[in-house]
Structure 1
Amino acid sequence: MCADTPEMNSPDYKSTLNLPQTDFPMRAGLPKREPAWLERWEKIGVYDRLRDKAKTEQRKPFTLHDGPPYANGNLHIGHALNKILKDMVVRSQQMMGRDSRYIPGWDCHGLPIEWKIEEQYRQKGKNKDEVPVVELRRECRAFASEWVGIQREEFKRLGVTGNWDDPYLTMNYHAEAVIAGEFMKFLMNGTLYQGSKPVMWSVVEKTALAEAEVEYHDHQSHTIWVKFPVVRALDANGARQPQRGVNVVIWTTTPWTIPSNRAVAFNPELSYGLYKVTEASEENWAKVGDEYLLADNLAEEVMKAARVDAYERKEDISAKQLDLMVCAHPFRGIEGGEGEWDYDVPLLPADHVTDEAGTGFVHTAPSHGADDFILGVKHGLRMTHNVLEDGSFRPDLPLFGGALIFDHKGKEKDANKRVIDAMAGVGALISRGRIKHSYPHSWRSKAPLIFRNTPQWFASIDRDVGDGQDALGKTIRQRALNAIDAVKWTPETGRNRIYSMMESRPDWVLSRQRAWGVPLTCFVKKGALPDDPDFLLRDPAVNARIVEAFEADGADVWYMEGAKERFLGKDHNPEEYEQIFDVLDVWFDSGSTHAFVLRDREDGSEDGIADLYLEGTDQHRGWFHSSLLQSCGTNGRAPYRGVLTHGFTLDEKGNKMSKSLGNTVAPEQVIKQYGADILRLWVAQSDYTADLRIGPEILKNVADSYRRLRNTMRFLLGSLGDFDEIEPVKPVDMPPLERWVLHCLYELDQEVRKGYDAYDFQGVFQKVFNFATVDLSAFYFDIRKDSLYCDADDSQFRHAALTVLDILFQRLTTWLAPVLVFTMEEVWLERYPGETSSVHLEDIPETPADWHKPELAQLVERVRNVRRVVTAALEVQRREKVIGSSLEAAPEVFVEDATLVTLLRTVNFADVCIASQLTLTEGAAPEGAFTLDEVPGVGVVFALAEGEKCQRCWKILPDVGTHAHEGTCKRCSDALG
């Protein structure tokens, strides 16, 4: 056994130190502990208590209106991102003094739910069409209700606060009554009309789709080049001149639309020519001597596709010449055609034709394209109804009756092939091929869509709205464009995006040919045409009866026996009217939510306008868009003052998440492994205005940041154990370093409030995190640990530090509570464990203006710069094993700036540098001194501290061992009494 040393024989002074003491664990254990806090918040009624508090204090309301998620499946990471962002907004606004209200909601109607019920029917061998519609609707309601319950618990598990006991559901009776009432406002103001237009149609779902329900994916289509024979032209005098052998050539990727062709479009601004084939293989469809009209910029490409070996350009063809030409349909005179296509096909001028691809001529089927329809209306072209709702050709269509474009699973069938074969048979083709291109698909079934002409109900956005509010704009489009500029868009690019969409959007297709939804509550007069003044029944008394019935029993009453007689009453003969059974586009449902949530609910918005709508960037064409249209049609204004958008979630490599790729990150998995606070912290650390990446490595980094922050809070808790026993020190009586911390808090408080108001959660967290880990943990705490641990209990110096720690505690917990809802509650309850205590019932404390000391901050910054040189110099000695601790050092610090030397002598610079002894010397550092280029005029010469090590504070000082208490310095001996 080695000989005794003085240190081993000296008293154990550890029990005399004020070392941090806390039960707050370093290991959070969030996955297991978070549910208990959720139960506690529910038990003490945090959300309701905040409403009572706001009412008592007459706080200004802040309403974030929840965009309704769809009630048909478990949450994905995008849901979590969205709801967490909303929760951060709500909580931060509340803690800054507002009455911050949040009413969760759900979209409950629509095709996906109805489809699920139909799948169940098929599995049971039931025919959906034989099930009474009310029974089907009730099963849809039960299905949606079940998923609302599941999703509600999943959202709550994320720590999201709100009125969970009374959410809004679009299938609630009052909601259905209001949605019907809002629809009937369009009926009454003249913007509702029935029209026959080509709309995006899903043959899988057998319904029309709105633009917001369409997404684009790569799809392989047939591509064909087709000859339209020119049969006559008019000369300059208007006389008919027969034509032989000249063909207008078109190119299309939808061969199935050729039977519905009614015209060919050209662009008068393009250059056209007549081209003749001079050399070609005998096997080619393009024959020697054929003459084609083509856009000059595309002629070479067309001839190449047709495998023509040589050709010549015979002459220019002017726009005036084209305008006087008439073609025959390629199927004119076809055997078995029964005269179906024996009509003229005019050439018509149109701006949408380009020479970027194709031939410079566009085959025009008004029933199957948006541009085609517009051109058809302008020139009175006949609409066709060749394609049925299941994607098949009408049975009586010659040659092609019953042919199917896509089947019920979205797979291509025989329509394209049969049309192509028929054209090849009559010599109408010059080439064919396949092309992969972006093509519209249903965002629900993921199946390709078709443009199909069907009778649908529309809200016109360019008709005058007859409601007497012309000052807001005469049309819905004008009102919407005006309203957009009155809204604050975050980020600002959102404004331009929705503005351009609103400028060019077509009329709103309101009708869907389904069963589960709010019906289009209107009646049409039998025998009347859509343009007739009395076609639509517009009777306020009828409308009132409908709303009253829906309010009492829901929209199912529309489908019950005797409904027509009940609603028409005695004023109208039921035999003269037809009841409409289409249901409303679900975007009309969600677009109307402002009316039954913001306007009608007591906890809604006082003026019926939300302070904020917050959804993903895709909602510029979705919920933001439909809400704006709906509200402008009924109120003349937007239903929101602010709109915030976030990006999509991607995996760590920036790839779109896909179950097939196995790169999805489920919220449930993250919570199970890390806890919801880590997921919330991921949101706070991310730039949500762009797409957000998430994955195992990213989450590990987030967890590391969390641990560092938790360590800061643990230090505060451990050090504040005896704070209640002291008299807090006034700022004016504090040392400079404490007053500097208060100054930092003042400036940071401004940044936090500004950031929360701008919804800049990433900026807020980064600033608070850097302050906590750099300014506090690595600087202030590091310096003040000695005083906190070793100074006497009655030391004013220590009391000042404790006062600052208490102030830090109050602000850090409330600043971070909107982000780390569980952890800050845990921290708060560690100090304030009352039965009804909660950090979420607190506000961010007001910060006194007299804490602001910019001149002091400049001085401290100069001190910190000198300290950086000293600590860097001591770190060199530590790495070389000369010292084990900075307390073993007694550096000499050379400073050229005399005023800086004076400043350093006003503080205990040795303590600032955590050195036992330190000498300050005014002047240039000697050669060989340690310096840092970024801190000129400062040098350090290393020396070992002289004296003995104090057995209480561990400083090495010359006076150790000369005081009453063995092995202590004067400060420690005095503290021991």
Structure 2
Amino acid sequence: MDYKLDISKKVSFKLDREIIISINKDWKEIYKSIMSNKIRKKIIIHDGPPYANGRIHLGHAINKIAKDVIIRKKLALGFRVHYKPGWDCHGLPIEIIVGRGKTKGEYKEYVNRQIGNQILGLEKLSCITNWNNNYKTMNKEVIRREIEAFFILLNSKKILIGKREIRFCKNCNSTVSDFEVEKNNKKEVISLILYISKKRRKRIILIYNISISKRLELEVNKKKISVLNIKKSKIKELKKKYKGKKIRKKIRIVVFRCCRHKTILETVKKRQIYINTKVKKKLKDINFFPEDTRKKFISSIFRRPNWCISRQRTWGVKIPLFFNRNKVIKNRKIEKLVIKDIRNWENIILSNKYRGFRKCKDVFDVWLDSGLTHYTILKKRKNISNFPADIYIEGKDQHRGWFNSSYITSMLINKKPPFKNLITHGFALDSKGGKMSKSLNNVISPTEIEKKYSLEILRFFISTSNYYKDISFSEERIRNKVFLMKKVKNVINFMYRNVIKLKNNNRSKKAKMLIDRYILKKTEKAKKNIYLIDKGYESYKSYEILEKFIIKTISSIYISNIKDRLYVLSKKDISKIGCQITMLTVLKDILILVSPYLPYYSEIVWKGLYKGKLLEEKLEERKVDISKKEISSIKIILKIKERYNKIKLKNKEKKLLIIKTRNAKILKPMEKEIRFIIHNYKNIVIGYDKEKLEFKTIKNVIKCNRCLGFSTKIKNKICKRCILIIENKNQERKFF
């Protein structure tokens, strides 16, 4: 006779380079297939294009992983999710690196090389995205659509031209946008040469055009006088008019600096092209996540001055405009030529009719390039449109950046917002909670985390963190996440190795025993709670529910109470097969739910158990036949077990357990099987009385060498029950 217990060997799932490449290839094919399935309802996630310069950093990782988690969750609910990654390709940083006055081909070559390097990093983040199927703001069709959008703005009188004060960086040799300005709220001491009027003692004029944050008051000769920004060229005129005098003075003020060169910005008056930013407030139907970002968004949009969109740079989209002072030429022929191909702009020469008008040599602000992607990318022709997007999700700095430029231009062109849901995530911080900066030498790259831990851990750490807030990448937090990840994997591995041997012809059978039906009901409740949380895009909260369900409910309640069925009963026993079927059913849902956090691991486990593709699987509602009375009885028994485990009594497992309870009527039918829950393995007596547990000593109790239970009927060191099991006789159970 075979006395051995049916204990499955431990399994390990290796994640090597070949497996990753194979899975990534499968994902691309499956995702393509899903997108062609018109039965699935479409959801649009629009990608705010990152800048095509430098290697990816943890900010990229947070953004792309957060998007991928949403995509996977939506796929599991039966949607097809349209997501095309993009890149912002123009601008000064690239122009500085490549060099000014270079050819477009040289700039494009550099940009494509940078995007290629970034894709190599992004492909390691275990996203299902096909990074090579992307959009670039430098693409010919995107530029054509951008020019088209510009003429819509021009013809609707939303484009303004005029000389206004604007910040200028000497090192950039260009005006800078609000997004390129650094304002340190700490006051700095700077030296200024001031011109004081003799006639107008209440006014003081700045000789050097330093951009100050607001109107200042200084004390000169014990009198308070105001400080204003003024253009240098007017100094001589002022001197003649007021016969003033110069003084040198050190003052402490808040100044604006260039985000690249850290130099103090000047304020100049220069003829520039602006967009009128006055738009209607249509926010009622927009969902903000988290909700408190609504105020920040409103403040950034509706307090913004007119937006200067002209830049004195080389690498960018030329502004196709002829102007004379504040007048512009509106000519349909010119529009058609330029919209057809922006290169035609260079060859257009005006007739004498337009004497005095000059050709604009400036390029568009890069924030206009990316801000117009709702029109250039989402809003297609031929009745195919992905506008408005269901989701915009970017970092909190984009409230004054991409969110801002997108909303304003969309309201001006489309008369409606470009998004339905606006999700804001935080930044990546160092271990001390400080901002990462090259100058502070505290930047942690994804590659560093990959080398020390693994990319799977990086993915798990980010996807299970509260990305609504800043994420601190400290050793302690990462180690804690690794510990929890291992606990979850251990439960899944246990379930896997105990169902892998289950024959296919047994898989279709339904669970009948009470504890099996109870755990299926708990699974449905967990799925419902996760679904409700995911409506708010709080993936970290839904993961907390999932983790608690796996560790507390599946492991502590179910697995710990079915080990007798799994290990002791014979392979063909109906009761054993019943709990294997239950685990197989529950594990299927768990793998779908955990795949956004552990995508590669989930995929490997799935392939070993189920037919079909994990990405194509939908979370479906399952009806479970269990009454409230039955659920109540399980809860009562679990409380009794908890009390039993707390009792410290020598050799209590050898004694007869007498359960006295007011719920005796409910528990009486389960009397013979409760012993398998409490692990006493001896007859338990249930009686009606106040809640208490009593123990009675029984003589000649011996431990069974096979099931490790205690019995008075032992033969050849094996209990009577085990002898029947070895003889392949089914153990009829209804409850446990």
Q: Partner residue of 1:724? A: 503
Task: Work out whether residues 319 and 364 of structure 2, in 8 Å CA contact, stay in contact via their aligned partners in 1.
Answer: yes
- Partner in structure 1 of residue 724 of structure 2: 974
SS in 2 for 1:611: strand
Cα distance in 2, alignment partners of residues 802 and 942 from structure 1: 35
Residue equivalent to 2:451: 672
Is structure 2 residue 319 aligned with structure 1 residue 537?
Answer: no
Structure 1 residues 160 and 729: alpha-carbon distance in aligned structure 2, compared to 1, 3 A threshold:
closer
Q: Residues 225, 574 of structure 1: CA spacing in aligned structure 2 closer, same or farther, 3 A cutoff?
A: closer
Larger Rg: 1
Q: 1:228 to 1:445 in 2, by over 3 A?
A: closer
Measured after TM superposition, the shift of residue 794 of structure 1 is 2.8
The one-letter amino acid paired with 2:76 is M
The structural deviation recorded for 1:894 is 4.4
Q: Is this contact kept in 1: 2:664–2:688, CA < 8 A? A: no
Residue type of the alignment partner of 2:581: T
Does residue 584 (structure 1) correspond to residue 364 (structure 2)? The answer is yes
1:221 aligned partner, one-letter code: V
Letter in 1 for 2:614: V
Deviations 1:96-121 (A, max 9, x none): 10011210110110011111112xxx
Cα deviation code 1:485-519 (max 9, x no counterpart): 22111111222211122221100110011011111
Aligned residues: 720
Distance in 2 of aligned mates of 1:908 and 1:149? 63
> In the superposition, relative to structure 1, how do residues 564 and 224 fare at CA in structure 2: closer, same or farther (>3 Å)?
closer
> 1: distance between equivalents of 2:668 and 2:471?
47
Q: Distance in 2 between matches of 1:461 and 1:868?
A: 65
The equivalent of 1:111 in structure 2 is: 92
Call closer, same or farther: CA 1:165–1:889 in 2, change over 3 Å: farther
Evaluate the alpha carbon distance shift between residue 678 and residue 739 of structure 1 in structure 2; reply closer, same or farther with a 3 A threshold.
same
1:775 is aligned to: 553
2:40 counterpart (33, 38, 59): 59
The 5 A counterparts of 1:20-169 are 20-21=8-9, 24-25=11-12, 30=15, 33=16, 35-44=17-26, 46-56=27-37, 58-118=39-99, 128=100, 133=101, 135-169=102-136
C-alpha displacement of 1:956:
2.0
CA contact (8 A) 2:168 2:267 kept: yes
* Alignment-mate amino acid for residue 188 of structure 1: N
Measure how far apart 1:673 and its partner are.
3.0
Asked if the contact 2:633/2:667 (under 8 Å) is kept, the reply is: no
> How far has the Cα of 1:61 moved from its partner?
0.5
What is the deviation of 1:858? 3.5
Name the counterpart of 2:641.
867
| CA deviation profile, 1:794-826 (whole Å, cap 9, x unmatched) | 322212211111111210111111221111011
Give 1:971 deviation, angstroms.
Answer: 2.7
Equivalent-residue separation in structure 2 for 1:136 and 1:904 (angstroms): 87
Q: How far did 1:713 drift?
A: 1.2
Once residues 440 and 226 of structure 1 are traced to their aligned partners in structure 2, the CA distance between those partners, rounded to angstroms, is 19
Given candidates 612, 616, 631, the residue that maps to 1:841 is 616
Residues 641-688 of structure 1 show CA distances to partners (whole Å, capped at 9, x for unaligned) of 111001112123222223444433211122233322212221232111
1:359-382 alpha-carbon deviations (Å, 9 max, x no partner): 4x53333x5xxxxxxxxxxxxxxx
CA distance in 1, matches of 2:568, 2:532: 39
Indicate which of 340, 344, 348 corresponds to 1:564. 348
Give the deviation of 1:223 after TM superposition: 7.2
Aligned to 1:734: 512
C-alpha distance in 1 between matches for 2:381 and 2:58: 30
Cα separation, 2, equivalents of 1:958 and 1:632: 83
In the alignment, what sits opposite 2:168? 201
Question: In the TM superposition, what is the alpha-carbon distance from 1:68 to its structure 2 partner?
Answer: 0.6
Change (3 A) 1:605 1:440: farther
Structure 1 pair 959–632 and aligned structure 2 pair: CA distance change class (3 A) = same
Paired residue for 1:13? 3
Query: How much has 1:607 moved relative to structure 2?
Result: 4.6
Mapped partners of 1:199, 1:939: distance in 2: 82
Deviations 1:762-806 (A, max 9, x none): 111111111111111122111111101211233222122111111
User: Aligned in 2, Cα 1:959/1:621: closer, same or farther, shift over 3 Å?
Assistant: same
Aligned mates of 2:164, 2:63 — CA distance in 1: 36
Query: Aligned-pair distance for 1:202?
Result: 1.9
Task: Give the structure 1 partner of residue 730 of structure 2.
Answer: none
Contact 1:614 1:644 in 2 (8 A): yes
Give, as a single letter, the amino acid of the residue that structure 1 aligns with 2:513: P
Aligned pair in 2 of structure 1 residues 853, 579: CA closer, same or farther (>3 Å)? farther
Instruction: Identify the residue that residue 785 of structure 1 maps to in structure 2.
Output: 563
Is 1:747 aligned to residue 525 of structure 2? yes
Of the three residues 544, 548, 556, the one matched with 1:766 is 544
Specify whether residues 919 and 903 from structure 1 end up closer, same or farther in structure 2 by C-alpha distance, changes over 3 A only: closer
User: 2:376 is paired with a residue of what secondary structure?
Assistant: helix
Corresponding residue of 1:447 = 263
Match of 2:733? none
1:363 match: 227
| Distance of 1:146 and 1:601 partners within structure 2 | 31
**Aligned amino acid, residue 161 of structure 2:** Q
Partner of 2:706: 952
Residue aligned with 1:517, SS:
coil
**C-alpha separation in 1, matches of 2:83 and 2:692:** 56
CA–CA distance in 2 between the matches of 1:945 and 1:82?
67
Q: Give me the whole-angstrom Cα distance separating, in 1, the residues matched to 2:434 and 2:665.
A: 54
In the alignment, is the contact (CA less than 8 A) between 1:76 and 1:666 conserved in 2?
yes
Give a deviation string over 1:41-85, Cα, whole Å, max 9, x none. 4444x3343343453452110111011111111111111011000
CA–CA distance in 1 between the matches of 2:174 and 2:115? Answer: 25
1:386 lines up with 2:233 in the alignment: yes
Alignment check: 8 A CA contact 2:49 2:85 kept: yes
Deviation at 1:591, TM superposition (A): 0.5
CA RMSD of aligned residues (A): 3.3
In 2: Cα distance, 1:698 partner to 1:609 partner:
38
CA distance in 2, matches of 1:80, 1:494: 22
> Are the equivalent residues in 1 in contact too, given 2:65–2:463 (CA < 8 A)?
no
Q: Match for 2:22: what amino acid?
A: R
1:923: how far off? 6.4
Structure 1 residue 654 and structure 2 residue 418: aligned?
no
Change over 3 Å in CA distance of 1:460–1:72 after alignment to 2: same
2-structure distance, mates of 1:891, 1:438: 81
Residue 257 of structure 2 aligns to a residue whose secondary structure is: strand
Whether the aligned pair in 1 keeps the contact of 2:319 and 2:361 (CA below 8 Å) is yes
Q: Percent identity?
A: 23
Q: Which moved more, 1:574-583 or 1:64-73?
A: 574-583
SS in 1 for 2:348: helix
Q: Could you tell me how far apart the structure 1 residues matched to 2:492 and 2:699 are?
A: 33
Offset, 1:183: 1.5
Counterpart CA distance in 2 for 1:843 and 1:225 is 70
Identify the range of structure 1 (864-873 vs 92-101) with the bigger mean alpha-carbon deviation: 864-873
The AA in structure 2 aligned to 1:847 is E
- Give me the whole-angstrom Cα distance separating, in 1, the residues matched to 2:97 and 2:133: 26
TM-score scaled to structure 1, two decimals? 0.68
Residues 405-456 of structure 1 deviation map (CA, whole Å, 9 limit, x = unaligned): xxxxxxxxxxxxxxx99315xxxxxxx5453x64323333343323322211
Does the Cα contact within 8 Å between 1:893 and 1:918 map onto a contact in 2? no
**2:208 aligns with one of 249, 252, 256:** 256
Q: Distance in 1 between matches of 2:227 and 2:672?
A: 86
**Alignment partner, residue 380 of structure 2:** 600
- 2:282 is the alignment partner of 1:497: no
SS in 2 for 1:758: coil
Q: Secondary structure of 2:593's match? A: helix
Distance 2:194 2:262 in 1: 30
In the alignment, the residues of structure 1 paired with residue 35 and residue 451 of structure 2 have an alpha-carbon distance, to the nearest angstrom, of 35
Residue 594 of structure 1, CA deviation: 1.6
Q: CA offsets, 1:350-403, max 9 Å, x none?
A: xxxxxxxxx4x53333x5xxxxxxxxxxxxxxxx4539xxxxx9xx8999xxxx
* 2:707 alignment partner AA: C
Which secondary structure state, in structure 2, belongs to the residue aligned with residue 497 of structure 1?
A: helix
* Letter of the structure 1 residue corresponding to residue 335 of structure 2: N
- 5+ unaligned residues in a row in structure 2: which ranges? 728-736
SS in 1 for 2:488: helix
Q: How does 1:52-451 map to 2 (within 5 A)?
A: 52-56=33-37, 58-118=39-99, 128=100, 133=101, 135-217=102-184, 218=186, 220-222=188-190, 231=199, 247-248=201-202, 256-257=208-209, 286=221, 292=223, 359=224, 362-365=226-229, 367=230, 384=231, 386=233, 422-423=246-247, 432-435=249-252, 438-451=254-267
Point out the more displaced range, 914-923 or 172-181. 914-923
